[in-house]
Amino acid sequence: MLIRRETEADRPTADNVHTRAFAQDGPVIGALLKSLRALPPSACDLALVAEKDGQVVGSTLCTRSLLDAPRKLVNVAVLSPLAVDPEHHGQGLGSALVRAAIEEMSKTDVPLLFLEGDPAFYSRLGFVPGGPLGFRKPSLRTPDEAFLVVKLPAYEDWMTGTLVYAREFWDHDCVGLRDPQA
């Protein structure tokens, strides 16, 4: 297995991995990926792929977002989406992608990496609930237990406040969980 930065040539295969992994939400995730990749490059942008036997079988992005802290707005990153081809689940590819993303983001001036996800999975990789650390989730639709963060080397104690997702996540309604019964 090889974890590396995504290239332009990887994008169609990486998009297919996301579509397969997210099944019914595949078209929405595909549109989100297209929007995120259209953003201008910055220190917060990171796209990684997991390659196995020469084929891309996993993918993740870290996208710049903001923390609305009392002192000032702080550039942070959101790890999303993360996908592993369903045929390759259970082989440690998702964990490897997350660890590599944390390592790469730790080399930047980005102080925090947020995500919405399964605490049982992500806590093994260093993520902790954001609420008890003074962070507010960006939407009431985000379950408290799923609002997770990892502090990176550039973090300072005054950095607390509300996570503000990049507009593209809002444009595609990819923040929090919608209640299908509402």
Q: What is the pLDDT confidence band of residue 85, given thresholds at 50, 70 and 90? A: very high
Q: What is the structure's pLDDT at 53?
A: 92
SS3 state of residue 163? strand
Placement of tokens 């806590």 in the chain: 123
pLDDT beyond 70 at 112: yes
CATH placement of domain 2-171: 3.40.630.30
> Which pTM was predicted?
0.92
> Hey, where are the domains in the chain?
2-171
Convert the pLDDT of each residue in 59-71 to its tens digit: 999 999 999 999 9
Convert the pLDDT of each residue in 121-134 to its tens digit: 999 999 999 999 99
Convert the pLDDT of each residue in 133-178 to its tens digit: 999 999 999 999 999 999 999 999 999 999 999 889 998 888 887 6
Maximum average pLDDT range among 5-19, 44-58, 123-137:
123-137
Residue 178, number of CB atoms within 10 A of its CB: 9
- Angle CA 176–48–97, to nearest 5: 70
Separation CA 70–CA 2 (nearest Å): 41
Class of residue 140 by CB neighbours under 10 A (exposed 0-12, middle 13-18, buried 19+): exposed
Give me the chain's average pLDDT, please: 92
- Name the least confident of 73-82, 98-107, 152-161, 170-179: 170-179
Residue 145, number of CB atoms within 10 A of its CB: 12
Q: Give the mean pLDDT of 64-83.
A: 95
pLDDT beyond 60 at 43: no
Helix %, strand %, coil % of the chain (to 5): 35, 30, 35
